[in-house]
Amino acid sequence: AQSVTQPDIHITVSEGASLELRCNYSYGATPYLFWYVQSPGQGLQLLLKYFSGDTLVQGIKGFEAEFKRSQSSFNLRKPSVHWSDAAEYFCAVGEKGYGGSQGNLIFGKGTKLSVKP
């Protein structure tokens, strides 16, 4: 069965520091991978997605993520964190056929990011 693991429940970084949020997935084939962000009291918003091709994908708000098949990872990065990035971040995996009878989007438990001034 598919699964998504975000090993860090809570991370605190200083404003201006770099950020890397970890995501590991378990899936037999090449999955569709996503990162979403949730601000307090809000729904989730898509940051970026990977389907195929270039393993380094760019997203909104200066975020990027790299798909590493050998490590079953899809870590999210940002070179310089801003205070407004404080939120909860969710990694998700979808399978081909998603939307049909076979698939749905599996979310990790999330990583809460706090930013120190």
Partner 1 sequence: DAGVIQSPRHEVTEMGQEVTLRCKPISGHDYLFWYRQTMMRGLELLIYFNNNVPIDDSGMPEDRFSAKMPNASFSTLKIQPSEPRDSAVYFCASSFRPPGSPLHFGNGTRLTVT
What are the residues binding partner 1 (CB under 8 A)?
A: 32, 34, 36, 41-46, 49, 51, 90, 94, 96, 98-101, 104-105, 107-110
For partner 1, the closer CB: 57 or 81: 57
Given a contact cutoff of 8 angstroms between Cβ atoms, the answer to whether 83 and 115 are in contact is: yes
Q: Tell me the residue type at 13.
A: V
* Residue 17 or 46 with smaller CB distance to partner 1: 46
Nearest distance in Å: CB 18, partner 1: 26
Cβ of residue 84: shortest distance to partner 1, in angstroms? 18
Query: What are the structure tokens assigned to 43, written together?
Result: 């729904």
> Minimum CB separation from partner 1 for residue 57, in Å?
13
Which token pair is 91? 């990694």
**Closer CB to partner 1, 81 or 94, in the complex:** 94
DSSP helix/strand/coil, 71: helix
Please tell me the distance from the alpha carbon of residue 110 to that of residue 38, in angstroms, as a whole number: 9
Nearer CB in complex with partner 1: 44/87:
44
Compute CA distances 93 → 60, 70, 101, whole Å: 19, 16, 16
